[in-house]
Structure 1
């Protein structure tokens, strides 16, 4: 393996390990050098909806010596961008609500009209990782100062925390109560042992008690219903009359 082959292997290994860089490089080629791709490669680009496929497209493309730009130069350009744009590490790529929020927030905050993702026709059925990389690409390619990007990241994280809190307390009311210090300490201990917050633990206790009360009421109602429907052995106005002549039997039979 000569030096060029070793360099190419190193670069392709880098792409495999860095989905964000791979997405950015392919999108840059698509935006600026689409004519340099073959018809088959263009079809592949239009359908490139996962990281492995993007790596394959780039490897095939740069295996040709007649590309208008080198992979080395694109990686160098990406490295400069990466220094200025730290990744959104607090985004959970498996959290559907968070990834959708991240994507929509980026598109609202940054003028994304310049980004044409024509292959994306249905965001609902798209892989969350793809939606994440699209949003990150818009942010990475945003021609703004490093300070502006950092400020937006700080604001976005704060906005997300506020959204989480609003969602958490939605439909809930504040309850101020006084407890003895010892009781409060015991409550904290019980909540911790059950891996719950104090609020969640108290809610759980109340829900259990409500369930027990309702079950007890149902049992009592069923018993009352059974007693009400039970037929008496004698009618309400019935009276007992002994057989005729019962008390006229000889004394020895009485």
Structure 2
């Protein structure tokens, strides 16, 4: 059966929500803040437990399938599109990186909270699972009523702060070693490191660890030989 215009529009909108987790999260939160009374009791329970993208899509599809909703999905999508134009996503955040997502969430809360952002409305929205922390943090940033320039500046600062944190974590427990090498030797070292897809530091560390392992193995063999020699019985003199 051929769909009418309204059905085609609704299908397009639901497909849009499925492909846009950030938009879906933002729209559901807006409904929760603005028109929660228009949801049924069952839908309110679902919203309170909506801790994954698929469930959020289902809630929105069920809600907007009714012709009596006080707000249209089209208007919310249009509003979101305007936000999305001005707010670039944090593409450098790896949603599977637990340390990074947690840092992202805490950093966003700390930075935007200092600008009097009200967090009370979202504290019970979802269980704090990894992917949800990411979407909550992004929602806070997306909904932050600040200028585009301020948002872009915060993104730049956050990326710089994360790179600094990564570097500090990487060099933690390490000491600086200044040595002099002949130019030819240094060039060969760079070449070897590149061929092994390592930094010079990592390559040198790897070489040292291998050498230490060889030295220890040689010592163990020598110790075993010495023990065997000590335990060997002297030959009897049969003359």
> TM-score, normalized by length of structure 1?
0.84
8 Å contact kept, 1:47–1:119: no
Distance verdict in 2 for CA 1:117–1:206, change over 3 Å: same
Distance verdict in 2 for CA 1:113–1:122, change over 3 Å: farther
Give the Å deviation of 1:228. 2.5
8 Å contact kept, 1:15–1:22: yes
Distance verdict in 2 for CA 1:64–1:34, change over 3 Å: same
8 Å contact kept, 2:117–2:144: no
Give the Å deviation of 1:231. 3.6
More moved, 201-210 vs 183-192: 183-192
Moved over 6 A (4+): 112-125
Give the Å deviation of 1:89. 0.6
Give the Å deviation of 1:187. 1.2
More moved, 206-215 vs 105-114: 105-114
- Asked if residue 46 in structure 1 is aligned to residue 15 in structure 2, the reply is no
Distance verdict in 2 for CA 1:222–1:127, change over 3 Å: same
Structure 2 unaligned residues grouped into runs of 5+: 235-239
8 Å contact kept, 2:86–2:148: yes
Give the Å deviation of 1:150. 0.8
Output one character per residue of 1:168-192: Cα deviation in whole Å (capped at 9) or x when no partner.
Answer: 1111111111112221121112111
8 Å contact kept, 2:49–2:125: no
Task: Tell me how far apart the structure 2 counterparts of residues 59 and 189 of structure 1 sit (CA, whole Å).
Answer: 57
Output one character per residue of 1:195-252: Cα deviation in whole Å (capped at 9) or x when no partner.
Answer: 11111111000000001111111121222223233343xxxxxxxxxxxxxxxxxxxx
Task: Tell me how far apart the structure 1 counterparts of residues 142 and 69 of structure 2 sit (CA, whole Å).
Answer: 24
8 Å contact kept, 2:94–2:101: yes
8 Å contact kept, 1:112–1:138: no
8 Å contact kept, 2:38–2:70: yes
Give the Å deviation of 1:124. 12
> Larger relative CO (CA 8 A, sep 6+): 1 or 2?
2
Distance verdict in 2 for CA 1:178–1:124, change over 3 Å: farther
8 Å contact kept, 1:92–1:98: yes
Give the Å deviation of 1:118. 8.6
8 Å contact kept, 1:16–1:52: yes
Give the Å deviation of 1:112. 8.4
Q: Where do 1:166-205 residues align within 5 Å? A: 166-205=168-207
More moved, 218-227 vs 73-82: 218-227
Task: Tell me how far apart the structure 1 counterparts of residues 34 and 116 of structure 2 sit (CA, whole Å).
Answer: 13
8 Å contact kept, 1:46–1:119: no
Task: Tell me how far apart the structure 2 counterparts of residues 181 and 159 of structure 1 sit (CA, whole Å).
Answer: 35
Q: Choose 1 or 2 for highest CA Rg.
A: 1
Give the Å deviation of 1:141. 0.8
Distance verdict in 2 for CA 1:124–1:51, change over 3 Å: closer
8 Å contact kept, 2:48–2:125: no
8 Å contact kept, 1:45–1:57: yes
> TM-score, normalized by length of structure 2?
0.89
Structure 1 unaligned residues grouped into runs of 5+: 233-254
